């Protein structure tokens, strides 16, 4: 199956939830979705379309908090970035860790370094700075110098 067919099928499935699609080339596609459809989208990618979850990257930008969830379709070398934009004041989104364990640590890390809340995360403890970092200080936010 090639990238075009995969993306067409994806778009057919989530028509109303897609905000933007950028196909850079055969192996790199970025799709911005509505944050509340993330669980459905991830479920489709992981269970039905055979994607592997690589990692997620959070970014603090002028638009608020953004997360790129990087999924890989290894057979064709495709990296599909599922991109969401979260609220600036109260960033929160559903956790994917009840679906696959691969996202468990990175969600804890994003919670710790950006202050993004992952709803229904099985165990949203600190991952890297347990017991030696101030509460409410998020080092990867842009205002942190």
Partner 1 sequence: MSKKTLIPIGPYHPLQEEPELFKLYCDGEIVKDIKWETGYNHRGIEKLSESKTYEQVFFLVERICGICSNSHPFAFANAVEEIANIEITNRTKYIRSIIAELERIHSHLLWVGLAGHFLGYNTVFMWAWKYREPTLDLFEMITGNRNSYGMFKVGGVRRDIEESKIPVIQNVLDDIKKKTDLLAGAVMDDPVIHARTKGVGILTLQDVIDYGAVGPTARASGLEIDVRKDDPYAAYPLVNWKVITAQAGDVFAKAEVRLLEMYESISIIEQCLAGLKKEKEGDIEVKVREIPEGIGNGRAEAPRGEVFHFVMSDGSTSPVRHKIRAPSYVNIATFRKSCIGQTIADATISLAAVDPCYCCTERMAVAYDIHSGKKILNAEELISISVKRTREIKDSD
Stretch that binds partner 1, among 6-14, 34-42, 76-84, 87-95 (CB under 8 A): 76-84
- Tokens read off for 49: 């379309």
Q: What is the dihedral of CA 117, 118, 124, 127, to 10 degrees?
A: -80
Instruction: Pick the binder of partner 1 from 63, 90, 119, 144 (CB under 8 A).
Output: 144
Q: Under the criterion CB under 8 A, does residue 128 sit at the interface with partner 1?
A: yes
Q: Under the criterion CB under 8 A, does residue 119 sit at the interface with partner 1?
A: no
Question: What's the CA gap between 95 and 109, in Å, rounded?
Answer: 13
Q: Interaction with partner 1 in 23-52: which residues (CB under 8 A)?
A: 24, 27-28, 30, 52
Instruction: Pick the binder of partner 1 from 55, 92, 117, 124 (CB under 8 A).
Output: 55
Q: Under the criterion CB under 8 A, does residue 7 sit at the interface with partner 1?
A: no
Q: What residue ranges bind partner 1 (CB under 8 A)?
A: 24, 27-28, 30, 52-55, 57-61, 68, 70, 72, 74-77, 79, 81, 100-102, 104-106, 113, 127-134, 137, 139-140, 144-145
């Amino acid at each position: 199956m090639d990238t075009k067919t995969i993306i067409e099928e994806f778009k057919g499935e989530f028509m109303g939830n897609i905000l933007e699609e950028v196909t850079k080339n055969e192996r790199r596609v970025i799709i911005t979705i509505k944050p509340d459809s993330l669980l459905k989208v991830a479920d489709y990618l992981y269970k039905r379309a055979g994607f592997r979850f690589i990692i997620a990257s959070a970014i603090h930008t002028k638009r608020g908090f953004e997360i790129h969830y990087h999924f890989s379709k290894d057979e064709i070398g495709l990296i599909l970035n599922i991109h969401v934009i979260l609220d600036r004041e109260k960033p929160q989104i559903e956790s994917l860790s009840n679906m696959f364990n691969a996202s468990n640590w990175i969600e804890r890390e994003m919670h710790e370094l950006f202050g993004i809340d992952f709803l229904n995360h099985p165990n949203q403890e600190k991952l890297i700075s347990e017991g030696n970092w101030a509460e409410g200080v998020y080092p990867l936010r842009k205002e942190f110098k």
